[in-house]
Structure formats: structure tokens, C-alpha cells
Amino acid sequence: MKKLVNLRIPLFAAVGLILGIYACYCAIFGSWYVALVMGLLLAVGIALALIFKNSAYKAFVILLVCAVVGFGRTQLQLSVLSARTYCEQHVTVGGYVSDIGRNGNQESNVYYLQDCYDAVSGDKLAGRIKLLYYGEDELSVGDRVMMGGTMSSVYPVKSDVGTYYLRNSVRYELHDVTVLEIAHGDPDLGERIRGYIYDVACEYMPHSDGVLYTLLTGDRNAMSDINARAFTDAGIIHIFAVSGLHVGFIVGVICFLLRRLRLHPALECIIVAVPLMLYAYICNFSPSVMRAFVMLLCAYAARILLGKADMLSSMSVAATILLLVQPFYIFDAGFQLSFLSVFGIATLYAPLNRRLARTKCNKAVRILLNSLLLSLCCWLSTLFTVAANFGVVPTLSALVNVIAIPIVSVAFVLGALGLIPWIFRYLLVASDYLLYALIKSAFAVSSLDFATVTFSVFGLSVVFTVIAAFVLGGYVNIGNRLRCAVCAACAVIVGLCVLLSALPVSADNSVYVAMSYGKTAVVAVSDGGEAALIADFDSAAAVDDAINYAERYRITDCTLYIPHYGAADPDLIAQALDRLPVTKAYKLNLQGNDEVDQALLSADIPTVYQIKNSVVGNDIAVRSLYDGAQSAVCVSVRNIEVCIVLGDIAAQNNLLSYKPDCDVYVLDGANAAYSAAGKVTLSQYQSEQPLNYGANKYGNFTIRQKGGKIILSCK
């Protein structure tokens, strides 16, 4: 009797690890039911497999054990990330100026320090410090500096995971920077190599210097925003994330040179691994290049031990290793796309390619069909991941990649060889024109009206897409009818995920706080379909996040409240008018803003000055508080009252004594506190530092009432 599941231990171990990590993440933010449901389903699966004497119980056991490991590893990683915290603390720190964000962006005022230490206590600081510096002294890569400023900890794990900070080990931000000492130094080896690549590309490649630098190093900082947008809309931006494609170029060249030597696989593996490790070092050991590197090692190990390699197992081992090192990589879009592309190749492309190989057709036609099939399988396997992460899906990606990947392959090899000093510089000219043609092609495709489709989808759709691909790939031994039925069921569920994600739900009584870069936007919604958006409209990120929250619900009436009217950006006001049913706007001070006045007037939205300390609104009551000066805005939705403090910590403390009956106090752009002990219910992670509940640690959060208590959740 055939086994029901074609058991691959590495694959089920990786899936179990992912389930454990996600369950722990949900539990951290109060969604214990998700972890309990996962554990219950695994336990039921084991019980059913044992009752019916099915070998599938082994798969469930592996899933359960690895889920427990993933849960524990995530908790451990979280404790490491929260080991030491700074909350608006004045410090004097020293460090080394790294090249993160520097090549191709020399005008930027953002710098990253590494090898950092507290100059007063002498304690070393784990990770890098991000700082915004506008001083007169010029900072160069390699400089060792000592600076004073206000330090705050960066918490990449919150309602959304900041994977950029995770990848670059950024743990702190330094504000109000004063340079105390600069000792000019030299960059390290990796920085010198990256600087050399950028300088040579700029000298010899006038049309596509930044594109080649991005292609070789994976650092998109050097690519212009307009080029990046064109590549994204054309569906080929993935080729600039250093991954298996780039590693394949290098391995292909090395193996071509070694082919005649007929070396033992173990010796060949060592020879190939050395330059790849150097390349990974140049690329700052990004998750995508490490995935490809580990997969290559697994493939060689399988050849040595078993005589053949298995792509699915190699991919799973690579995923397991990377997730054990950093569990929160599962929230990184690049990590997801990288592994799902390989998964699509292993499950969809491999069997279809075997069928194509048995057909009788012209060799050139077969090569073309093979390339199109490969691109289409990668597109299908990542379709809903792209939609879930970005909300926009390139429709022509499968076709464009058939042309783009050969161009990039040749341009990559020519560009890499052209970097060799004095010998092959003319190859850079050829690479420049190839990449320039690619840029023009991307612009031509992205300009088409149907180049992209905008739609959102629940993350659950990705799970059922993976299940369908696994079944279609023949890894479950069932009949063709049952296989079709399973895949049809998965397709129906995915369709429902797409449909339901696009439908707004009935509003509930809640207040959502969106904080970004020291700016706050607050949106309140009521079960009557009313909404109030309170913001200065000077932060695109905060306003966009607040509007996204309101768009989830069926809102029939929205009112804007603008505390600092003179600072409002007319473009952000226009964005709110386009996306929400705005009927009125209140300005809470007497500042003027002609551009905003014109934007509101053109939309026929009346603008009203709210009298000091007056209350306006129906289901949602808003009060502008003045205590000699504008001090706060209070928002009430049924039995929830939230105060947005328009000032510093001292203003918050004054308001706590002046108005002690609010449920939650939000300090504009910093943190939040609650008034009555026991009145606010916090989850496990949130209760560690309840008075630091805010964007810097927990992300944007929602305030609701349940069972007579105020619930704060990072959703």
C-alpha cells in the first residue's frame, strides 16, 4: 500500500517551525486562540492517523515537535531583542560609520553606526544605531565617532515586523545628534569592495550604473525610485534581490571552468563554496543569498551521500537553518518570495517540465516553452504572497521574465568580469547597454494600463496555494479525481479569501492609533458607520495607515480634525478626501493654510473652526482642550475616551492630573499610558512595559471595549 504522504522530513520540519513561529507571534500580541487552534489541529491529525493506522502520523509528529521548537526559539529571540531598552534617554555613544544606505545615496542624512558602545558606562551595544545627522562635519564610511543625543530603542517585532531593521541589526535610533569627536578611518574589506563596485559602475556605465550595482550587491539604495517603480510594475524587481539566480550565475561560471577536471563532488563543493562565501560577505549575508548558499551545500551533500539532490528538501533545510537563526524572517517579503519561487519550481515546474520533455517539438520551441513555463510557475506560486504584501500584482510578469532573465544573466556576467582591473573594462559598456535596454523595456511594460492589478487578499490564501501546489506536484498519493477535488477546494477557499478581503465589514466602536516617525494619526469609528480622523496631515505613513484602518469598515460619514492646520499637507488632505466619505473638516487652531483651504473648497467640504474646549460630533465626540494653550484632543466613542496629547512628556503629566478620567493617553509620536490600574487589559508582551505602549515598541494599536474593560491590541 502506498503511503498517503510522500514524506520529506526536512519539508515537514520547516513547515512545523513556521507554524510554531507564527503561533508564538500571535500569542505575543494576545491572539492565543490561533496558537491553540494550531496545536489542536496537529493533535487531532496525529490521533486520526493512529486510529486509521495511517503513516501520515509521522508527518504530524514532525510538525508538532518542530512547532514547539519554533515557538520556543521565537520567545528566545524576542527576549534577545528586548534585552536592553532606551526610551528617550540622553546618552553619549561611540561607533563606526558603516556603508549601509551610503553607496548611491551620498546626499542622505541617515547614517548607521556599528560596533557601538555607551561612552559613559563602557557597555557594548548589540546591533547598529540609526541616526539622522545634519551637522557641518562630514561623516565618511569608516570614521569612528562619538556622539551625544537622545537614544530610543527600535523594536522591529510589533504589529508589523520591521524586517529591514532585522536584516541590518538596527536596534536603536539616535535623535538630536551632536558630534563630539571624529577619528577618520578606513572602511572594512566588504565596504571597500562595495565602494569599488559603485565607483567603477559610475565611471563606465552612464546609463545604468545604479542598476548594475544593485544587481551585483542587492543594495537597492543606488537604484533611482523611478527605475525601481518601473521594474516593480513590470514584475521583474525580484531579479535585483541577490538570490539563487545570482548564485546560479557564479556557480555556472565556476563549474564551466572546472568541468574538464572531473573533480570529486566534495572537492568541487569546497572550490565553489569559497567564492560564494565571499560573495555572501559582499552582499552583507542577506537572507536570500544565504538561502541559495545553503541550498547549494545541501545539493552537494545529497550528491555525495545519496548520489542525487532533491530541491524540495534542500530548500527546506535552508529555510530551517535561517529561521532558527532569525525566526522573524518569515515576515520578510523577500524571504517569502524567494522560498515560494523555489517551492513552485519543485512542485509545479518539475512535473510539467518532465511532460514537456516527452513531447515532440522543435528544440528552440521547447526552450522557449520551458522558459515560459518556469516563469509562469514562479508567478503562480508567489501571486498571493505579492498581493498580501503589496496589494498590487504585475500581470505580465511571467512574459517579461522570459526576456528579462537572459538579459540579466548576460549583463551580470559581463558586469562582474568588467570589474577586474585594467583588463575587461570594455565589458562594462556592453553590460550598460543591455541593462539600459532592460530599463526601457520595463518602462514600456509598466506604462500599460493592464500591467498591474490592484487587489488585497488574506494571508490564508498563501497557505492553500502551497497545499494545492504540493498536491499537484504528486507529493500526496491520491487518485486523480481526489487530487482535482482537493485543488478545486483550495481554489474556492483562495477565491473566498480574495472576495472577503475586499468587502468592508460593519464598523465597531474603536479607536486606532497610527504612529510613524514621531507623528501620530488617530482614527475613531463607531458602530453607526461614523468616523473621525484626527491628524496634522504632515506624515504620509501615519495618515495612510489610519485611512487603511478606516477603509476596512463600512463608513458612511467621516469628519477631519486638524490640530495644527498650518502644517497640513494638501496632498495628504486630498488622499483622505479621495478614499473616505468626508463631509466636514474642523481646524483646531487659527492658523491659515491656503492650499488646504483650496483642496477642501474644490471638494465642496465645509471648513469650520472648533471653539476652544467645545465638543462636536454625534456617535464620536471630539473635544479640543486648551489649558492656556492647545494641549490635547479628546475623542469619545461610546464608553471609550482617548486623549491625544499635543506636547511633550511634561504636557502629558500635566494632563494626567488635569483630566485623570481618560482611558488612554497618547503622546503625539512617542508612547501611550492609561489612567486607571486594571482598566486596560494588555497581552503578555504588552504588559512587560505598559507605560511604553506605543509605536516605538508595539506598533500601531487599536483601543476597544470588551466586558467592561478597555482592550489594547496591536492589530
Query: For position 576, which CATH number holds?
Result: 3.60.15.10
pLDDT class of 680 with cuts at 50, 70, 90: low
**pLDDT score of 689:** 46
CA distance 254 to 597: 64
Q: What rounded mean pLDDT belongs to the chain?
A: 82
**pLDDT score of 443:** 92
Assess contact for 392 and 452: CB atoms under 8 A: yes
How many other CB atoms sit within 10 Å of the CB of residue 194? 23
For residue 645, give the DSSP letter: E
Q: What is the CATH number of the domain that holds 155?
A: 2.40.50
**pLDDT score of 676:** 46
Q: Is the pLDDT of residue 52 over 70?
A: no
CA distance 216 to 178: 36
With respect to residue 654, please indicate whether it lies within any of the assigned structural domains. yes
Q: Is the pLDDT of residue 462 over 90?
A: no
Longest dimension (CA), the chain: 86
Q: pLDDT tens, 591-633?
A: 888 999 999 998 899 888 888 888 888 889 998 887 767 778 8
Q: Is the pLDDT of residue 683 over 50?
A: no
**pLDDT score of 274:** 87
Q: What letter represents residue 694's amino acid?
A: G
What does the pLDDT average to over 326-334? 88
What does the pLDDT average to over 24-29? 80
What does the pLDDT average to over 85-114? 83
What does the pLDDT average to over 229-244? 84
Q: pLDDT tens, 626-673?
A: 776 777 888 988 888 888 877 655 665 666 666 667 777 776 554 445
| 260 lies in the same domain as 389 | no
With respect to residue 123, please indicate whether it lies within any of the assigned structural domains. yes
CA distance 631 to 611: 14
How far, rounded to the nearest angstrom, does the alpha carbon of residue 586 sit from its chain's CA centroid? 35
Q: What letter represents residue 581's amino acid?
A: P
With respect to residue 224, please indicate whether it lies within any of the assigned structural domains. no
With respect to residue 215, please indicate whether it lies within any of the assigned structural domains. no
**pLDDT score of 531:** 92
Which of 82-86, 191-195, 704-708 has the least mean pLDDT?
704-708
Q: pLDDT tens, 405-438?
A: 888 888 988 888 888 877 778 889 999 999 999 9
| 347 lies in the same domain as 465 | yes
| Positions of E strands within 467-526 | 510-516, 519-525
**pLDDT score of 667:** 65
C-alpha cell at 516: 510613524
| 556 lies in the same domain as 666 | yes
Query: What string of DSSP letters covers 250-295?
Result: HHHHHHHHHGGG---HHHHHHHHHHHHHHHHHHTTT-HHHHHHHHH
| 657 lies in the same domain as 620 | yes
Rg (CA), the chain: 28
Q: Which of 190, 400, 180 is nearest to 282 (CA)?
A: 190
Note the helical H segments in 82-150. Answer: none
Residue 246: CB partners within 8 Å, gap ≥ 6? 215, 216, 218, 279, 289, 292, 412
Note the helical H segments in 591-695. Answer: 594-602, 649-658
How many other CB atoms sit within 10 Å of the CB of residue 711? 18
CA distance 675 to 666: 11
| 253 lies in the same domain as 351 | no
What does the pLDDT average to over 311-323? 87
Which residue, 15, 48, 82, sits at the end of a domain? 82
Tell me how many degrees the CA angle 3-9-13 measures, rounded to the nearest 5. Answer: 130
Residue 97: CB partners within 8 Å, gap ≥ 6? 111, 112, 113, 139, 140, 141, 142, 143, 144, 145
Assess contact for 158 and 713: CB atoms under 8 A: no
| 13 lies in the same domain as 111 | no
| 625 lies in the same domain as 653 | yes
Q: β-pairing, 510-516 with 701-706?
A: antiparallel
With respect to residue 521, please indicate whether it lies within any of the assigned structural domains. yes
Q: Which of 119, 110, 115, 128 is nearest to 147 (CA)?
A: 119
With respect to residue 46, please indicate whether it lies within any of the assigned structural domains. yes
Q: Is the pLDDT of residue 684 over 50?
A: no
Q: pLDDT tens, 162-194?
A: 788 888 889 888 888 888 899 988 888 888 999
Q: pLDDT tens, 470-485?
A: 888 888 777 788 888 9
Q: β-pairing, 89-97 with 110-118?
A: antiparallel
| 539 lies in the same domain as 484 | no
What does the pLDDT average to over 35-42? 76
| 364 lies in the same domain as 490 | yes
Q: Which of 474, 436, 165 is nearest to 349 (CA)?
A: 474
**pLDDT score of 647:** 63
C-alpha cell at 400: 517579461
pLDDT class of 584 with cuts at 50, 70, 90: very high
| 271 lies in the same domain as 351 | no
- For 631, half-sphere exposure in the C-beta direction (CA atoms, 13 angstrom radius) is 17
Residue 69: CB partners within 8 Å, gap ≥ 6? 16, 17, 20
How many other CB atoms sit within 10 Å of the CB of residue 499? 12
pLDDT class of 1 with cuts at 50, 70, 90: very low
| 39 lies in the same domain as 162 | no
Which residue, 187, 218, 244, sits at the end of a domain? 187
With respect to residue 163, please indicate whether it lies within any of the assigned structural domains. yes
Domain that holds residue 19: 1-82
Q: Is the pLDDT of residue 678 over 70?
A: no
CA distance 688 to 632: 27
Which residue, 503, 522, 539, sits at the end of a domain? 503
Q: What letter represents residue 378's amino acid?
A: C
How many other CB atoms sit within 10 Å of the CB of residue 567? 15
End-to-end CA distance of the chain: 48
CA distance 324 to 401: 32
What domain count does the chain have? 5
Better-predicted residue by pLDDT, 216 or 506: 216
| 479 lies in the same domain as 526 | no
What are the backbone angles phi and psi of residue 620, rounded to the nearest 5°? -110, 115
With respect to residue 49, please indicate whether it lies within any of the assigned structural domains. yes
